[in-house]
């Protein structure tokens, strides 16, 4: 008797947008095919974040990440997944000059990687670009609050909204990109009551990172939450101890090699007996 294979369908942009006020949206960053394949079992969308410059390539900030690197890692994540929506960050310098520049580079990212959406940083100042892209068939996830590509202006990775008189501008940023067509808005590094107000002020999902549990979803850098790094920001909870496990395994391997305990007969090839 033949069995029918169930078709796996990717989560879509409209499905993410429709989760406003509903079941919380789960997301992580992903940069490799194999970790993406694991993460998509539990995540609604995966972000190929430009944080890969720091996490994977040892850069001091995300500013130096080139478009080619985002495309390379984006391809890997799409290859490794079947169900999760995949969003790829637009790196610094690839979209700020003009809406036309943003469209050319966003279209290139989507064509080359086959991802389902792009993400760009900036609030009201990027609203025109968000509208330009969405009107031309490119789904956009916006990113406001602490925007890592602007750390040179901000003077570092500084929490936003500490002073209540600044809240108005962050809320207006969120409204501007939502009204321009963004299907979701990442809210990073803002004080909790401000994140609550932003979530209430717009009709598309907010994805919190260092924000509030009342956001419509959450995202973390995968390597941070796995405990791969010794230091993580305050807003990260370590759900694993992968870094310690890797070090322990490498130390055991090194000891076995030096003592000639590895390889064992089970790890080598033998001659065929006649």
Report the pLDDT value the prediction gives residue 50, as an integer from 0 to 100. Answer: 97
Predicted pLDDT at 230: 85
Q: Which residues carry a binding-site annotation for Mg(2+)? A: 50, 89, 121
Q: Indicate the fold that domain 13-240 takes in CATH.
A: TIM Barrel (3.20.20)
- pLDDT tens, position by position, 207-236: 999 999 999 999 999 999 999 988 898 999
Catalytic residues: 188
Q: State the Cα–Cα distance between residues 87 and 137, nearest whole angstrom.
A: 14
DSSP conformation letters of 39-87? HTTT-SEEEE-TTHHHHTT--SSSTT--HHHHHHHHHHHHHT-SSSEEE
pLDDT at 152: 82
CB-CB contact of 185 with 174 (8 Å): yes
The per-residue pLDDT for 3 is: 54
pLDDT of res. 4: 58
| Residue whose entry in the numeric block shows the structure tokens 């996490």 | 55
Task: Please identify every stretch of the chain with a pLDDT value under 70, giving residue numbers as ranges.
Answer: 1-5
Binding site residue list: 50-51, 89, 119, 121
Q: Which of 273, 224, 249 is nearest to 56 (CA)?
A: 224
Detail the residues annotated as belonging to a binding site for 3-methyl-2-oxobutanoate: 50-51, 89, 119
Cβ–Cβ under 8 Å, residues 48 and 69: no
pLDDT of residue 1: 46
């Amino acid at each position: 008797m033949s069995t029918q294979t169930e078709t796996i369908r990717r989560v879509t942009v409209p499905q993410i947008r429709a989760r406003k006020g509903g079941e919380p949206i789960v997301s992580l960053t992903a940069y490799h095919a194999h970790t993406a394949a694991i993460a998509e079992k539990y995540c609604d969308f995966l972000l190929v974040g430009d944080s890969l410059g720091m996490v994977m390539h040892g850069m001091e900030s995300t500013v130096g990440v080139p478009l080619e690197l985002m495309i390379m890692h984006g391809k890997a994540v799409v290859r490794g997944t079947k169900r999760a929506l995949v969003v790829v960050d637009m790196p610094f310098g690839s979209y700020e000059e003009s809406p036309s520049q943003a469209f050319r580079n966003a279209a290139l990212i989507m064509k080359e990687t086959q991802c389902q959406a792009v993400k760009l940083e900036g609030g009201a100042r990027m609203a025109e670009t968000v509208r330009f892209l969405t009107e031309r068939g490119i789904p956009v996830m916006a990113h406001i609050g602490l925007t890592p590509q602007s750390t040179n202006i901000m003077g570092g990775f500084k929490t936003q909204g500490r002073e209540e008189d600044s809240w108005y501008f962050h809320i207006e940023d969120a409204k501007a990109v939502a009204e321009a067509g963004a299907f979701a808005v990442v809210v990073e590094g803002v004080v909790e009551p401000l994140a609550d107000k932003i979530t209430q002020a717009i009709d598309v999902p907010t994805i919190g990172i260092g924000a509030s549990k009342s956001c419509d979803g959450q995202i973390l850098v995968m390597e941070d939450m796995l405990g791969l790094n010794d230091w993580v920001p305050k807003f990260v909870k370590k759900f694993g101890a992968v870094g310690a496990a890797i070090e322990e395994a490498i130390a055991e391997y090194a000891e076995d090699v030096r003592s000639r305990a590895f390889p064992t007969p089970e790890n080598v090839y033998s001659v065929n007996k006649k």
